[in-house]
Structure 1
Amino acid sequence: MPIDFLQAADTVAPQLLGCVLTHAGVSIRLTEVEAYLGAGDEAAHTFRGQTPRNAAMFGPGGHMYVYLSYGIHRAGNIVCGPAGTGQGVLLRAGEVVAGEELASRRRGPVPPHRLAQGPGNLGRALDLQISDNHAELGGDDFQLVEPGNMPEWVRGPRVGISRNVEAKLRFWIPGDVTVSRRKGRPAP
């Protein structure tokens, strides 16, 4: 059954694991994501309401929210939930399964398992642009193919945030080498 992007972000997030997202000549199998739950989630970009920057997150599920992180990295989220709820799933890491040479040119000299490891690196590998904000999944620019079988997954606290840090809204495929590492620790 296809993913219903009108569901809550924490329901959609684990369903995205193992999916292949294609954009700008590169395809990435998603191995790590984080759910952000809107007004009730202090870590969400939408916690304080709608702004011009986060407006895409308030659209209906199944669209992209692309933003500039730390002023340098373009990160991508898949919007979830009904219009107006401000929910999304941050694309944290994945394995480049097509377009590796192109992803390598965009990322520079890194090992293949690190090409899309971390939200900014994944965004660079896919060549996400602010102009991709609001783009529809399944449209001309973004295709998402679901796996035949959902992979095993685990959940735990999100990383790289300072609010609502203990919420177990990070989902990943255990043992996958592309999953982000916490500073000073091996991958989970």
Structure 2
Amino acid sequence: MAFAAETLPTSFYERRAPDVAPDLLGKLLVRSGGTARTGRIVEVEAYSGDGDPAAHSRSGPTARNAAMFGPPGTLYVYRIYGLHWCANAVCALPGTGDAVLLRAVEPLCGHDVMAASRGNDGRRIQCVDLCSGPAKLTQAFGIDAAHNGSDITASSDLSIRDDGWVPSHITATQRIGISRGTERPWRWYVTGNPHVSGGRR
């Protein structure tokens, strides 16, 4: 399945994460290397610099979070629980420490390779569960430490593109899976989409 879509330019990301995040809903996450994989972004969370107690960047740059302070339109990829990877689109001016966590996508093509990347032959994982969470998403798209700091606005095997589709309804909620900064309504998802991760209400 082919999609006529333009890669989002660097200028798209040159804003604070809470402004970029809801605009990412409906965009396409595309892995073009090897067997193509495409999914529509249906859930995101914003993390915004040193004023955000839940942001990895809150205490300044470290070896782990250095990519989060990089140029807008690059990826910040980190490991959680020593097991899983999470992917974030870096936003704002370099040195700010803003990023948008890609929490869930709706698979559009490459379902079999996504299932295989999840360590499954595709018969035990339903499509709705392939990418319904940040760790599932990175597993399905084969995103790992090698993508940390990569440019998603350039001609690479991983990019975010716009095919013109816009969700008719978006829901904003508090962020989930964190213990600090929980009062901020910086999680957005496509209302009613079954591929969204837990905590839909």
SS at match of 2:153: coil
TM-score by length of 1: 0.93
Q: CA deviation at 1:10?
A: 0.5
AA partner of residue 70 (structure 1): Y
Report the equivalent of 2:89: 78
Given the alignment of the two structures, is residue 124 of structure 1 paired with residue 139 of structure 2, yes or no?
A: yes
Q: CA deviation at 1:149?
A: 3.7
Given the alignment of the two structures, is residue 51 of structure 1 paired with residue 59 of structure 2, yes or no?
A: no
AA partner of residue 170 (structure 2): W
Q: CA deviation at 1:141?
A: 2.2
Given the alignment of the two structures, is residue 134 of structure 1 paired with residue 149 of structure 2, yes or no?
A: yes
Given the alignment of the two structures, is residue 145 of structure 1 paired with residue 161 of structure 2, yes or no?
A: yes
**Within 5 Å, which residues of 2 pair with 1:160-175?**
160-175=177-192
Given the alignment of the two structures, is residue 110 of structure 1 paired with residue 125 of structure 2, yes or no?
A: yes
Q: Give unpaired runs (5+ residues) of structure 1.
A: none
Q: CA deviation at 1:26?
A: 1.6
Q: CA deviation at 1:27?
A: 1.2
Structure 1 residue aligned with 2:23, among 12, 15, 40?
15
TM-score by length of 2: 0.87
Q: Does the 8 A contact of 1:172 with 1:179 survive in 2? A: yes
Q: Give unpaired runs (5+ residues) of structure 2.
A: 1-7
CA distance in 1, matches of 2:157, 2:64: 21
Runs of 4 or more consecutive aligned structure 1 residues displaced over 3 Å after TM superposition:
none
Report the equivalent of 1:65: 76
- State the Cα RMSD in Å: 1.4
Percent of residue pairs identical: 39
Q: CA deviation at 1:147?
A: 3.6
CA distance in 2, matches of 1:126, 1:38: 27
CA distance in 1, matches of 2:89, 2:159: 12
Q: Does the 8 A contact of 1:135 with 1:141 survive in 2? A: no
CA distance in 2, matches of 1:30, 1:44: 21
Aligned length: 184
SS at match of 1:71: coil
